[in-house]
A and B are shown apart, each in its own frame.
Chain A
Amino acid sequence: MKPCRSMLYIPGDSPGMIQHAPVFGADSILLDLEDAVAIAEKDAARKMVACFLQDYDFKDLIVTVRVNGADTEFFDDDLSEIIPCLPAAVRIPKCNGPADVLSADKKIEEIERANSIPVGKVRIHAMIETAVGVENAYHIASACPRVEAITLGGQDLTADMGVKKTKEGWELFYARSRVVVAARAAGVAVYDTVWADINDKEGLLRECRSIVGLGFTGKAAIHPDQIETIHQAFMPDEKELKKAVRIVEAAEKAKNEGKGVISVDGKMVDAPVVARARHLLELADLYGLERSGS
């Protein structure tokens, strides 16, 4: 899977913003039919997002759509109109447990079959934004193969926990750690919540560095101006990159020579380390960094 560091939120009822989506350098976008769209505009936004998905050239952007929650009257219509337009994934809000994911999976499968789309083509990004959702994170992430990622919704989660969302983010520390571990255990991607203060780039960079350190694979952005900062935090450092090159070269060599044991700088290297090194090299490609390892 191509590394996806940033996911830019774009209101589904804003054609002016959607048409510019490919120019900001985000790895992916999320066309939002949920919180960003007023009740009276739900139908119009759904139709517009469907039109854009069918006719607009988003270039190499990964395009996902956040549908309204299963507890709303819009959920079924959102899925039936959006799934046939083949977004890379739909984001399902407020997943409290595996049942929420499986219910959406079933509905999506029916729509795929009815439209002759290979089953499993449109993936699910399951959004975790309640305390119970956090506690069930692994079961949500591993509910079915359609789940490609889980995402943390910080605003709703802090509200659910009855605490204030702060810039320091200690109130989310446990939830973040738990969600990341769950995602890694299930082998899916994991996106962090948005940084709300678009004027505070230093704060954003600090938070990004911290969530990269925790193991998140990407972060949501609410303004195009945040994308560069998010990418900056994901950039591999030079020393790490050099080592990654040596690890991948050693792994290739071992494979060619039919050896099971990989050794770098005289030390044994395990498969997860090789996988991480490969991921770093893919990231490096996104930054146009030179691989000058050996």
Chain B
Amino acid sequence: MEMVLNSLGRKVPLELSGAGSFSPYASPYAMLGRPGAFGGTRIQLRRPMPSRSKIVENIEKAVELSGLQNGMTISFHHHLRNGDAVMPMVLDVLEKMGFKGLTLAPSSIPDVHDCIADYIRSGLINRLYTSGVRGELGKLLSRGELEIPVVIRSHGGRARGIEEGSISIDVAFLAAPACDPLGNITGSTGPSACGSMGYAMTDARYARHVIAITDNLVDYPLNPRISIPQYLVDSIVCVESLGDPKKIATGAARITRNPVDLKIARDSFLLMKASGIVERGFSFQMGVGGASLAVAKYLAEYMREKGIRGSFGLGGVGGYLAGMLEEGLFDAVFDVQSFDSAVTKSIHEDPRHIEIDSSWYANPFNAGCLVNNLDCVILAALEVDCDFNVNVLTGHDGALRGASGGHQDTAAGAKLSIVAAPSFRGGVPSIKERVTTITTPGETVDAIVTERGICINPRREDLLGSALKAGLPVVDIEALKEEVEKLTGVPRPPEFDCDKIAAVVEYRDGTLIDTVYARKQ
């Protein structure tokens, strides 16, 4: 296998048997700025007889009608979060029907779906494209048990892959919280309501065949909101339940009480403020965990106090952002994926809460995705390094246990990208000489905020000046790394079997940014 060094000094393959050929990563914008349109996938045309119902009796029948063959590609969305029962349900049917060698290309894989490991061992699945993997599945892949390496893509990268044809979905299975007999679908109502269906919208548009699976068949026509229109859906299967409503409709994430996370959040907000971007018309995205959500708390207080109204919030939307919209702190919210049930009411009732597909969200190869309009994004990290590269995919033991998500997309698009992370977790330092895996290049990260100080990327002299002027606790990243290592020691790096590639990590433009090797047994 021919390996080359990319511009970040990471060895990446030019070709992977079974997964295609790749180019090495060069820079965040190397593939952009070229005039004119090129290639791309078209919507797949069909010629069905006119009908008033697309309902078929069960999943098996729907699969037969789809023409699915061994070796083809199937997709799922992960909007039902850890409550999803549809992916295991469908894979179980496919296994019983005797399929082999399928490519599984979901938008991501919820933590609970360890069953995929079994279907890899049984031979049902032999290729995997995803944003991330965790749990048992991550461990299995990190042992190199899947012959063909996993291709990890960001949300924007996956949308690009589908639209350019490097991911060619044969059959998309869409969990549909509300669906009418002709296949108009929304995620904003029903017992399994999940909010936005942004990732599913892209799959439905380009798949060769689309099967909707619903536990909530409504009278025709579904109204008032239709997320996926009937002309994209081939057949519908009614099932008793799409999953566990408690895990689908999780309550709004609460602001952390952890003092370390609060300190990180506060300093992140102060850096935003110092940079001068928090003014009328500003746009913002944050994650929903730990420190990120708490940033919004400080931001909201400040916007309220100063009477600042932002232009839009983007995400990954949780209840807190929906609340800021309701309060009038933003003009609109664009929602590709809802994080909790508190969002469902907002997306259903508030026309300013706009459901968007994953291409609109973050595909770098369309005429303009929303991440490019972000003023500020607050991101998390498993590890960072002295070049500001970020790893959100592999843990300190080298095993796959994270997801690329929208990290590299938003970091590249936003004017100010802040990584908010504790300087160590469980005694393991987060700042490394070199991250185990690069998922987001340091060239697109402006600052790393920890509880022990703020590290500013040397590329951003302007930001450094603003932070110092505001009296923020700026610290050199090498010095911070040393300070933390005095507390934690320097962990021995994980050992890898460099003859066996477990996964390759695409940058959003399709070039390879890094390679994940199997862990040494």
Contact = CB atoms under 8 A, between A and B. Distances in A.
Interface in A8-55: 17, 19-20, 23-24
Interface stretch (B120-128, B138-146, B258-266, B355-363): B258-266
Contact of B263 (A19, A24, A57): A24
A107 to B, nearest CB: 33
B434 interface: no
A57 B487 CA distance: 9
Contacts of B486: 57
Contacts of A223: 259
A220 to B, nearest CB: 16
A183 B448 CA distance: 45
Nearest to B471: A288
Nearest to B424: A19
A169 B394 CA distance: 53
User: What's the dominant secondary structure at chain A's contact region?
Assistant: loop
Contact of A224 (B262, B452, B471): B262
A110 interface: no
A225 interface: yes
A224 B263 contact: yes
A194 to B, nearest CB: 15
A23 B452 contact: yes
A288 B471 CA distance: 8
A288 B451 CA distance: 21
Nearest to A287: B471
A224 B486 CA distance: 24
B201 to A, nearest CB: 40
Interface in B482-504: 486-487
Contacts of B487: 19
Contact of B259 (A57, A225, A288): A225
A20 B452 CA distance: 9
Assign chain B's interface to a size class.
under 10
User: What's the dominant secondary structure at chain B's contact region?
Assistant: helix
Nearest to A16: B260
A20 B262 contact: no
Interface in B221-273: 259-260, 262-263
Contacts of A225: 259, 262
A48 to B, nearest CB: 15
A225 B266 CA distance: 10
A23 B262 contact: no
A24 B259 contact: yes
B471 A20 contact: no
Contacts of B263: 23-24, 224
A198 to B, nearest CB: 8
Nearest to B264: A23
Contacts of B452: 23
Interface in B429-468: 451-452
B178 to A, nearest CB: 38
- Which of B263, B452, B486: most chain A Cβ within 10 A? B263
Interface in A240-294: 288
A199 to B, nearest CB: 10
Interface string A219-235: 00001110000000000
Interface in B396-452: 451-452
A113 to B, nearest CB: 33
B486 to A, nearest CB: 8
Interface in B342-381: none
A17 B259 CA distance: 9
B358 to A, nearest CB: 37
A23 B471 contact: no
A17 B263 CA distance: 13
B136 to A, nearest CB: 29
Contacts of B471: 288
B485 to A, nearest CB: 13
Contacts of A20: 259-260, 451
Contacts of A23: 260, 263, 451-452
Interface in A180-237: 223-225
Closest 7 CB pairs of A and B: A224-B259, A23-B451, A288-B471, A20-B260, A23-B452, A23-B263, A225-B262
Interface of A: 17, 19-20, 23-24, 57, 223-225, 288
19 contacts: A17-B259, A19-B487, A20-B259, A20-B260, A20-B451, A23-B260, A23-B263, A23-B451, A23-B452, A24-B259, A24-B263, A57-B486, A223-B259, A224-B259, A224-B262, A224-B263, A225-B259, A225-B262, A288-B471
Given A57-B486, A225-B259, 8 more contacts: A20-B260, A20-B451, A23-B260, A23-B452, A24-B259, A223-B259, A224-B259, A224-B263
